[in-house]
Amino acid sequence: MPASRRLVLVGGLAAAGCSSLAVTAGGVRRMDPALDGVVAPDARLERLASGFTWSEGPVWIAEGAYLLFSDVPENRIHRWSRAGGLSVFMAPSGYDGPDPSVFREPGSNGLIAGPAGTILMADHGNRAIARVDLATQVKTLLATHYRGARFNSPNDLVQASNGAIFFTDPPYGLKDMDRSPLKEMAENGVYRLDPDGGVHRLVDDLTFPNGVALSPDQRTLYVSVSDPARPVLMAYELDGAGGIRGGRVFKDFAALAGPSAPGLPDGMAVDRDGRLFATGPGGVHVLTPDGRSLGLIDTAGAAANCTFGEDGRTLFITAGDRLLRLETLTRG
């Protein structure tokens, strides 16, 4: 059953202090000349803020011209804007109960825009998909169980035009993850939450499903797998009812992973032409709809997620302890 509760709004600067604007190490690596039509050759990767434990789940709020993003272990949502800089928007963002020691990451993770004045959240700490009113910070839990068993720790989500929400449910939020005594399902699944509240498991054979995205025509569901033993990005064909017809490996990152390229497949964004900006070893990989690599946005450290914002051309990247920005030539 849905439940509502009020969360605390915290004003002032975040504990993760706002840094001065700087060009980061790394930059853009060109693998195909076609990248020049997507990211200008002289584009600069800028650091907007730093000092986070693990930044995640960025979402651009067009109505107020600001970005929200999670610091999952610290149980906070931060806000950033050109006018106001950095502040704490919500704390706690996830679990607010008596014993946080049972969680590895108790906060919110993926965030996306919801109905007017709201965001939708993958809530690690409450093991739920939730909706949050931006004005009041009232949180409504939309889904917490599948067939009587509680979710592990919903990680990322995307909403289709018909209102259905696709989301992943790895064990990353739980202390000891798959070995947690709180884990009620053996599977780490991919699900669809329908507008009527029905929950359907679509995929049950991935070890660590993580980021999720839809193609512009909403016929393909992309799911990243953040498994060091099999770091892949999957593509699933969707039928007209939002079911899975078949899956394939869209991009295998195994050959790229290593100490010189930190990070695993995680969150992603899709531009209007269907290109994927997918986090993975070394940063954010720019991929065509047929899986060709155009280039790498080298974040000089692991990248967790990204989203388009401002006029639609700005790519915001959450990368470990930093929030980054890159101006592109495309639109999200």
Residue 18 vs residue 247, higher pLDDT: 247
> How far apart are the C-alpha atoms of 104 and 177, rounded to whole Å?
8
Mean pLDDT of 120-136: 98
Tell whether the model's pLDDT for residue 2 goes beyond 60.
no
CA 219, chain centre distance (Å): 20
Query: What is the CB neighbour count within 10 angstroms for residue 304?
Result: 29
Give 223's strand partners. Answer: 212, 234
Evaluate whether 69 touches 323 at the Cβ level (below 8 Å): yes
Could you report the per-residue pLDDT of 173-222, keeping only the tens digit for each? Answer: 999 999 999 999 999 999 999 999 999 999 999 999 999 999 999 999 99
Q: What is the pLDDT of residue 27?
A: 86
Tell whether the model's pLDDT for residue 228 goes beyond 80.
yes
Question: Global pTM?
Answer: 0.92
> How far apart are the C-alpha atoms of 140 and 153, rounded to whole Å?
16
Could you report the per-residue pLDDT of 286-307, keeping only the tens digit for each? Answer: 999 999 999 999 999 999 999 9
| Cα within 13 Å of Cα(142), Cβ side | 25
For the CA atoms of 307, 51, 297, 210, what is the dihedral angle to 10 degrees? Answer: -50
- Strand bridging mode 305-309 / 45-50: unpaired
Positive or negative torsion for Cα 239, 141, 186, 75:
positive
> How far apart are the C-alpha atoms of 257 and 182, rounded to whole Å?
31
Query: What is the CB neighbour count within 10 angstroms for residue 97?
Result: 12
Find, among 5, 206, 16, 305, the residue nearest to 125 by Cα: 5
Evaluate whether 225 touches 280 at the Cβ level (below 8 Å): no
Residue 24 vs residue 166, higher pLDDT: 166
Residue type, 166: F
Q: What is the pLDDT of residue 258?
A: 87
Find, among 227, 144, 228, 152, the residue nearest to 193 by Cα: 144
The residues, ordered by sequence, that sit 6+ positions from 234 with a Cβ below 8 Å of its Cβ are: 206, 222, 223, 224, 225, 247, 248, 249, 250
Tell whether the model's pLDDT for residue 253 goes beyond 50.
yes
Tell whether the model's pLDDT for residue 277 goes beyond 80.
yes
Q: What share of the chain is helix, strand, coil (3-state, %, to 5)?
A: 5, 45, 50
- Per-chain mean pLDDT for the chain: 92
